Amino acid sequence: MNMPDPQAFAATWMSQFADPTLWQGWMTAPQAMAPMAPALGGANPLAAILKDAGAGIPADKLEAIRLDYLKQAGQLWQDFVVGKRPALQDKRFSAPEWQDNPLSAFSAASYLLNSQFMLALADAVDAAPRERQKIRFAAQQLVDAMSPANFFATNPEAQKKLIETKGESLAKGLSNMLADMQKGRISQTDESAFEVGRNVGNSAGQVVFENELFQLIQYTPTTPTVKAVPLLMIPPCINKFYILDLQPENSLVRYVVEQGNTVFMVSWRNPDSSMGNTTWDDFVETGAIKAIEVVREITGQEKTHVFGFCVGGTIAATALAVLAARGQQPAASVSLLTTLLDFSDTGVLEVFVDETQVAQREQKLAKGGLMPGRDLATTFSALRPNDLVWNYVQQNYLKGKEPPAFDLLYWNADSTNLPGPMFCWYLRNTYLENKLRVPGALTVCGVPVDLGAIEAPVFLYGSKEDHIVPWEAAFASMELLNPKNPKANRYVLGASGHIAGVINPASKGKRSYWVNEKGGKGRPKTAAAWMAGATEHKGSWWPEWAKFLAQHGGAEVAPPEVAGNERYQPTEPAPGRYVKARAD
């Protein structure tokens, strides 16, 4: 393989840091190349980012970064000359092939050092927090993309595979890449291993209602008795509901049914062009409020547990606030999982939401049209590119491997569109202007919205490593809900991320969760104070939620003999046809 000459690279690259004149020029002259590609010399892509953002780096910080880099790079080169292998503390370079070849080890170590250098520059930028986060995000994207593991010429694992398979791995990799190009996305799992209704989304039940926006599923009871109060689950409309009903061993739906609950699920329709004018008000009125109405009519119960996950929780809470403004309190309890109501802290997603970007979306979609699910999927993949993009480039394309079967990743690839007007309203009024948290600042379905007017016990859940809904932001709902009755609110923190933290089956006993039993007026007011007094428990948080539902579930009664009622007759078996419509 044609590999860069390390001695020539070192002399060229290091000279730019030893010579202040060249160093200053490197910092101010954006070029097309990157320091992560040593054979191409020392050009600086970050300079262009800084120029676009109108930001700079203080001279003293710049000099400190330069000197630190010069010291570490010099030591790395000396170690290479004497044959000392560098320690590669990065899972991308954990395979023995990276250490077996001295040049590969040096390439990986140089990349890691240059990555550290680029991110140090981004962190040193003198700019407002939002701009600094954007610069850091852009630098991270560049750093991740330029890893030597992503290129055949610098990936010794892929090269060894080529030799071992006599070229078959490369041929298979090209075939995988061409197939993905036709699909318009990278394959993250063996999609042939799953089918909605067969081995995912296959909990027994019936569709008992549908309109142009959703189908309502009633699941078949499995216990001799059930709690009188039913449970309505409202999933995010950005993805399909069966994240809550994966394979049986991973199904939250199956779990709550087995706990003796009569469970209903909203299955949002995957929007097509006929839904291009659907609004946020439609999702609240024709979606969540209608679902609450139907559940109450079918069960004959005055109240129902209302569950919302992610944006489904935002829709559910908005619907309950609308009903409160109309003098109705239909919730026996409210459960919100990884849900934002206060959008002060939106984590890394903040880089995608500013006035310019929202205005561009509004100009294109506010009066009608669809936000393609493929675009949304690309955005979320960009939040974790090494795990959700480059890992599959390396495995599927460079090594010619087939991705293993994984139900969660099958669901992740089954994207949904969003109606343009609804999406634009959501971006502006929540992410950009954060109005939902302010009583009366928003009018939805013709009435002012006040989340504090919802009267029901509340269970809030956040995931400790969530990059979409930071757990502290999920905790912020503690101050918005039941402001005059703080003891009615309970917060539970789970391990892992946005999805894996939620889908943590009780039967597997994995991970852990945290609770803080201080309630009422004495409860911690901030997320940090809450965490300081929290106790960690091993295993799943699901039993904590099951106890909460049981506490507010009413008497034990006989389960319904059939789904629906005289007015709402079953029309097709679960999971229904809406969930099977694909965006691509």
Where in the sequence numbering do the catalytic residues fall? 310
Distance CA 121, CA 116 (A): 9
Closest C-alpha among 575, 582, 580 to residue 245: 575
For the four alpha carbons of 437, 443, 444 and 448, in that order, the dihedral sign comes to: positive
> What DSSP element (H or E) covers 491?
strand 489-494
Is the separation of the CB atoms in 369 and 423 below 8 Å?
no
Closest C-alpha among 307, 312, 314, 308 to residue 549: 307
Report how many helices (DSSP H) and strands (DSSP E) the chain contains, helices first. 23, 17
- Full DSSP string of 88-131: --SGGG-STHHHHSHHHHHHHHHHHHHHHHHHHHHHT-BS-HHH
Distance CA 428, CA 271 (A): 21
Q: Which residues contact 434 (CB under 8 A, 6 or more apart)?
A: 342, 343, 344
Distance CA 234, CA 267 (A): 8
In 10 A of CB 224, how many CB atoms? 9
Is the separation of the CB atoms in 288 and 315 below 8 Å?
yes
- Full DSSP string of 249-260: GG-HHHHHHHTT
Exposure of 423 in the CB half-sphere (CA atoms within 13 A): 31
Residue with tokens 């991970």: 511
Distance CA 366, CA 210 (A): 26
Is the separation of the CB atoms in 522 and 199 below 8 Å?
no
For 14, 206, 219, 495, the CA distances from 566, given in Å and listed in that order, are 80, 14, 17, 44
Residue 435, classified by CB atoms within 10 Å of its CB into exposed (0-12), middle (13-18) or buried (19+), is middle
Distance CA 126, CA 121 (A): 10
- Is it true that the peptide bond before 575 is cis, omega within 30 degrees of 0? yes
Is the separation of the CB atoms in 494 and 502 below 8 Å?
yes
Terminus-to-terminus CA distance in the chain, angstroms? 39
Is the separation of the CB atoms in 208 and 569 below 8 Å?
yes
In 10 A of CB 55, how many CB atoms? 17
Distance CA 403, CA 397 (A): 11
